[in-house]
Amino acid sequence: MGRVVGIDLGTTNSVVAVIEGGKPIVIANAEGFRTTPSVVGFNKEGELVVGQMARRQAVLHPKNTFYGVKRFIGRKYSELEPESKRVAYTVRRDRSDNIKIPCPQIEKTFAPEEISARILQKLAEDAEKYLGEAVTGAVITVPAYFNDAQRQATRDAGKIAGLDVKRIINEPTAAALAYGLEKRNYQTILVFDIGGGTFDVSILDIKDNLFEVRATCGDSQLGGDDFDKRIVDWLAEQFLQQEGVDLRKERQSLQRLMEAAEKAKIELSGVKVTEINLPFITATAEGPKHLETRLTRSQFEDLCGDLVGRLRKPIKRAMSDAGITPPEIDEVVLVGGSSRIPMVQQLVRSFIDIEPNKGVNPDEVVAVGAAIQAGMLGGEVKDILLLDVTPISIGLETIGGINKKLLPRNTTIPTRRSDVFSTGENNQTMVEIHVVQGEREMARDNKSLGRFKLTGIPPAPRGVPQVQVSFDIDANGILQVTARDRTTGREQGITIQGASNLSDGEIERMMREAAQYAREDREKRERVEKRNKARALVDKAQRTLKEVTLDFGSQFVSYHRRRIEALCNEITESLRENDERAIDRAESDLRDALYELNREVKWQYEEDDEIDLFGAIKRTFTGEREEDYWPSNSGYREREDYRYGGGYYDNEDRRDYETRDDRDYYGDRRNSRGDYSRSSRYDDYPPEQSSRRGRTSNRNNIPRQNNWDEDDDDEWY
């Protein structure tokens, strides 16, 4: 059984958290950041990239980089506003009016649920690396004003990602859980949640360990991206007037404008004016064009005045549904990155005359609340009761196409509601139950959730048969509708888990493809890492050869050099030919060769240390000085004579020494520093330290002088 984590699947950024030791902890991603951009892309090699890596390629590969997909999830193409479709990548419709996103790089078309699934996979993998165990389940947050289709689409994305979605929880409710976890006094709080693409406001009562949602409202198509688009339009209109070029029609230019707009919006939360500089934004027949301008906070507020006005209505409606007035609000919790905008904060203060609470991180608080909910389901967090509400009314279609609401909005769930209906025509033996979701009075203006038929009704005048229709909704938001004829006892029902845009077959196919892509991506990553390691090993080997040559001379490493360089060439050639087996074999042999070289180097250092130790002991007892020894690590010393064993040599002899092949004794000529380096195959002791018994072996290593008597060994020794 794997772990269950809490995931805030955001429009702009996503966060994953988990309960550790009874406390919620936000998990950093592989790049070291606590938030992961909700961006998915395919690079020029066709490899899947998610998060920061995908965001970096957005300008160069706009058609293959997908962001803000949360606004499309669970919706039909016909439901999209023109502004929603103005993105740098392509958005299309299929025959069923579903939204499809083509990726030219891999010649494949994705549903929004598939794109979101890649983000969920990335978050789950990061959590697994942190926890050291598998992550199999998740509690995923959604905007409170998501309809049933959008909630089910989010659940489908979790299934495609290979996760068991334990619960779908509203984002403001999750934020309230995180805020009130340590609270024990009675409070009524208002959660103001405005993220990148959605806006929600919820009012909750917190008392001891009871969290009860009283009302919720919002706008699932209003968020920080809309503020960014106002800046984009302002910049594009200015450039169009000056240069006659509409930057919104060029994908790369549009992507650069959107990134600059987001940066400017963030900066204006702390300063009064910001500079916007976009060199080489486009090119005309006259040459490259640059965009350079300034945007003040007052200009930004003028551009977004109507957007702030759209925030007022949900606040008023939520307070009206909860039956409270602003003085009854004890605390205001701001959630979402866009809640940092000064004009948004000023709007909240104008409604509730208190300073918003800034004790929670608006970027992470929703994920923390989701982790708490996951802990509640897993038994790690106890003694907490959460009572949520259904954000949108659910009813059924009656005669004349009227929407009869059985579950009004802000009804506490889980709950069960029922009502009795009858036939509309004489001798009618069958009725069709059409379940809809929405606040409009006519059924056709609302979202259709499902239909089913109840047959076998005895013929009777209209209005006589009695059909009892019951709505039963659980804590997960899964709705079950049943219809029963009171006369015959016949019953028919339907379980509505959301009006998903994907069929079960499509979901199964996407799950298989997601697993296949995950395996292929993992194999690609392993191949890339293997090649990088092989190149790094070659560089290390060449660096080691240079260092050992400087310290011990070329003769010392001559044998190892030939072997190591041959293996380095073999690895380089194998990398060029993409021969995986040859790379593995040569890499293993090269590691063995480096190990042998390093072992000999270690022995050489140990012998040198031993010589230094014995030499120091001897000098202590004999009174000799270190410079009296002729062999030296720094070469010949400038002396008039040189002591060697029992005799001395003058400068003439020394010059004669230097003209001969000194490698007979030292094993190599001077290295690049001017020192004489010795090979480990020759004796490391000078002749005067050698015993008479070992003179035969040492004798061959002593350079011969012209005036030496080869037979007079006793005189020499």
Active site residues: 8, 70, 171, 193
E strand residue ranges, 545-701? 641-644, 647-650
Q: For 120-152, b where at least 16 C-beta lie within 10 A, e where not — what string? A: bbbbbbbbbebeeeebbbbbbbbbbbbbbbbbb
Q: Judge contact between 200 and 143, C-beta under 8 A.
A: yes
Q: What is the CA radius of gyration of the chain?
A: 39
Q: Which two tokens stand for residue 401?
A: 């196409």
Closest-CA residue to 591 (of 548, 545, 541, 543): 541
Q: Which two tokens stand for residue 349?
A: 């203060």
- CA triplet 655, 660, 662: central angle to 5 degrees? 105
What is residue 64's DSSP assignment? G
> Helix 112-131 to helix 504-552 angle, to the nearest 10 degrees?
50
Q: Judge contact between 253 and 281, C-beta under 8 A.
A: yes
Q: Which two tokens stand for residue 418?
A: 């029922």
Local structure of 710: helix, strand or coil: coil
Q: Which two tokens stand for residue 407?
A: 């579950």
Number of Cα atoms under 13 Å in the Cβ half of residue 573: 9
Backbone dihedral angles phi then psi of residue 23, each to the nearest 5 degrees: -120, 140
Give the list of residues 6+ apart from residue 177 with CB closer than 8 angstroms, or none: 211, 368, 369, 372, 373, 384, 386
Closest-CA residue to 529 (of 487, 601, 580, 483): 580
Q: Which residue has the tokens 């007037």?
A: 241
Q: Judge contact between 13 and 35, C-beta under 8 A.
A: yes
**DSSP state string for 295-320:** EEHHHHHHHTHHHHHHHHHHHHHHHH
Give the list of residues 6+ apart from residue 352 with CB closer than 8 angstroms, or none: 190, 326, 329, 332
The end-to-end CA distance of the chain, in Å, is 81
Distance CA 220, CA 72 (A): 11
